[in-house]
Structure 1
C-alpha cells in the first residue's frame, strides 16, 4: 500500500486522474476494479472515481508494486538555456520562447521551455517535486519550433485548469507580428482548414466541406517595404499552422517559411532562415468571476521590443 497527501496543486483534481498520474502501466480495467473492490480510499474511506480531491486528503492505494513507477534512469543532459520571463505572479507566468527552442521535451536533450520553467520554480522554492504529487508546472499553449514569442505557463493545478478553460473559451486573445510577401487582404478573414496527417501539412479552402473546420484570422498591414509587408495578425480561432497556411492561401506567405512559403522569394532574403512570425501580445477578456484567474481580465501582456519590426526596416 502506498499513501499520497494531496497538496494545493491537487485541489479539485478528479481522484481517478490522480491515481493514473501516480501509477505506471495501470490498465484502466484494473483501475476501476480497484475502485469497486475498495482498494482505493481517501482518508480511510471508499470514494468514487469522480471524487474531487481537497488539500490535505490522504489517498491510500492498495495496489501491486508493479503499478508504481520505478526510479527513472539518469536524465538526459539538457543543453544550457536561459528562461526569459515577461510577466509573473503567484499563479501564472508569461514566458518568451525564442526561435528553435522547443516548448516540450522531445527526448533529444535539447533545451525546452517547460523544463526551464520547472527549474526556475525549483530554484525559487515555488515547486518542490516531493511527496508523490502528480502535478508538474506546465505551459498552457504552444508555438512551433520556428516561431518566437509569448507562452502562458501555470505554476499550480488550479491555474493550469483555469488557463486551459480560458484558452478553450477564447478569453485569451493572441496577436502576432509577421513579415509576408506582398500585401495581403486586410480585415477579419474566414476560410476553412483541413489537416492532412500523411503530408504533415494543413490546407485552406474557401468553402466548407466535411472534415474542414472554420478559421478566422484578422490581418492588419502596418508597413510596406521591399516587396514585403509587416503585419499584425489576430487569431480568432487557433488551428495548427493557421497563420502560416492562411496567409499562404491569400498569396502572401510568411518570409522564411519553408513549409508554406515561396522558395524563390525566400532566396532573396537569406538572413531569414525561419518563418518571420512572433507571438507578441496576449490579452485577457471575459474571464468569469469564479475563475481563479479572473484578476487577469482587462490585462494585456506584450513582448518588449520585438525584433521583427527592426528586421523589417533592414530589408
Structure 2
C-alpha cells in the first residue's frame, strides 16, 4: 500500500488528473476501475475522480510494489532514490550556476522573474539549462518543494521570452498559480509591455495588425497584411491554419539622432513567436541588433550589439478575486536593461 498527502503545489487539481500524473503509465480505464473497486481512495473514502483535491488530503493506493512501479514508471525504490538525487542536484546546480536572474515578485502561488538576455526560458534540447531549471532549484533551496513532490507536479514558466530577450517571466509555483496565469495570458487580460530601440524615426503611435506564420526550419516569423491574408485564404483555405492574427501597439518615447533610432514602449496585445521583432521589421524599422530580421549597423561601433535590444519590462494584472485579489490591477516592473540608457 502507498499513501500520499496532497501538497499546496498540487491542490486545486481534479483527482483523476492528479492520479494520471502520479501513474502516467496507467490507462484512464484502469484508474477508474481502481476507483470503483476502492483500490484507490481519497481521504479513506471511495472517490469518483471528479473531486478537486486540497492540501492535506490523503490518497491511498492498495497496489503491490510491482504494480505501483509498473504504472508509475519507476523501477524500484533504490532506482528512484538514485534518480531523485541526480535530479535534485541538477536543479540546485542551475540555481547556483545561472547568473543575473532576480525575483521581482513572489507569493504563495506565483513567481515573477527578471531574465537576462542569453538565458533560455525553457530547454530547447536535453542538455540545456534554462530559467525553468533555475526556478525549480530556487524552490528546492527555499524548502518549498521536495523531489518527491516534483514527481507529481513540476512548476513551470507560463510565458516564454526569446533567448536574447530580457525581462519578466511569469511562473506558476503550484496548480492554482499555473492555471490563473494561463487563463489571463490566454484571454489577454494581462497587459504586457516591452521596451526596445527600433532603427529609424517613428513619430506617432501605431496600432499594427496582420497575420503571422512561424517558419520552424528557419526559426523566423513571416507577417502579411489583412488584404493579402484574405486573398491567400480565398485561394488556399488551409492557409488559415498556418497564419495567426496579431496586434501590436507601438508608442514612440524618444528619437536618438546619433544612432538614428527610436525608443519605443510596446503593448503586446497578442503574443506570438517573434511578433514584435517581425512586426517592426515589416514596417521598415527592425530592432537594433536584430540581424535575423534585417537590422544592419550604420556605424562601426553599432556592430558590437550581441543581441536584439528588446526587454519585457512591465506587466499589469487584471481585476481578480479570491486568493488572487491581491494581484488586482498590480503592475510589476523589471529594471531597465543597461543598454537602455547608453
TM-score (norm 1): 0.86
| Unaligned runs of at least 5 residues, structure 1 | none
The verdict on how the C-alpha distance between 1:267 and 1:199 changes in structure 2, with shifts beyond 3 A counting, is farther
| Contact kept in structure 1, 2:297 and 2:303, CA below 8 Å | no
Query: Given the superposition, is the C-alpha separation of residues 53 and 260 from structure 1 closer, same or farther in structure 2, using an over 3 Å criterion?
Result: same
Q: Which residue of 2 aligns with 1:276?
A: 309
Paired residue for 2:192?
A: 174
Matched, 1:252 2:270: no
SS of residue matched to 1:149:
strand
Secondary structure of the residue that 1:280 maps to in structure 2? strand
Matches within 5 A, 1:232-311: 232-263=265-296, 269-287=302-320, 289-290=321-322, 292-311=323-342
Q: How big is each residue's C-alpha offset from its partner over 1:179-199, in whole Å with a ceiling of 9 and x where there is no partner?
A: 111134632222122233344
- The answer to whether 1:81 aligns with 2:98 is yes
Deviation at 1:247, TM superposition (A): 0.9
Cα contact 1:256–1:266 (8 A) shared by 2: no
* Distance 1:189-1:309 versus aligned 2 partners, 3 A rule: same
Asked if 2 retains the 8 angstrom alpha-carbon contact of 1:4 and 1:133, the reply is: no
Contact 2:319 2:327 in 1 (8 A): no
Q: How many angstroms apart in 2 are the aligned matches of 1:126 and 1:302? A: 25
- For 2:193 and 2:269, the matched residues in 1 are separated by 9
> For this pair of structures, how many residues does the alignment match?
309
- Is structure 2 residue 55 aligned with structure 1 residue 51? no
Counterparts of 1:182 and 1:2, CA distance in 2: 65
1:68 counterpart residue number: 72
**Using the alignment, how far apart are the partners of 1:132 and 1:121 within structure 2?**
11
Cα distance, 1:32 vs structure 2: 4.8
- The secondary structure found in structure 1 opposite 2:302 is coil
2-structure distance, mates of 1:264, 1:12 = 51
Q: How far apart, in 1, do the equivalents of 2:150 and 2:286 lie?
A: 48
Q: CA deviation at 1:254?
A: 1.2
Q: Assess, with a 3 A threshold, how the Cα gap between structure 1 residues 265 and 128 changes in structure 2: closer, same or farther.
A: same
TM-score, length basis structure 2 = 0.80
1:211-254 deviation line (CA, Å, top 9, x unaligned): 33221101011122222211111111111111111111111111
Aligned partners of 1:50 and 1:266: how far apart in 2?
A: 63
Partners of 1:201 and 1:266 lie apart in 2 by 26
1:227 to 252, 255, 260: 260
Query: Quick one: distance in 1 between partners of 2:293 and 2:36?
Result: 53
Alpha-carbon spacing, 1:107–1:34, altered in 2? closer, same or farther (3 Å): farther
Cα separation, 1, equivalents of 2:166 and 2:107: 22
Are 2:15 and 1:15 aligned?
Answer: yes
How far the C-alpha of 1:133 sits from its partner, in A, is 6.3
Superposed, 1:89-168 pairs within 5 Å as: 89-106=107-124, 108-130=126-148, 134-168=152-186
* C-alpha distance in 2 between matches for 1:61 and 1:265: 67
Superposition RMSD in Å:
2.7
Separation in structure 2 between the aligned mates of residue 260 and residue 28 of structure 1, nearest angstrom: 47
Distance 2:124 2:211 in 1: 30
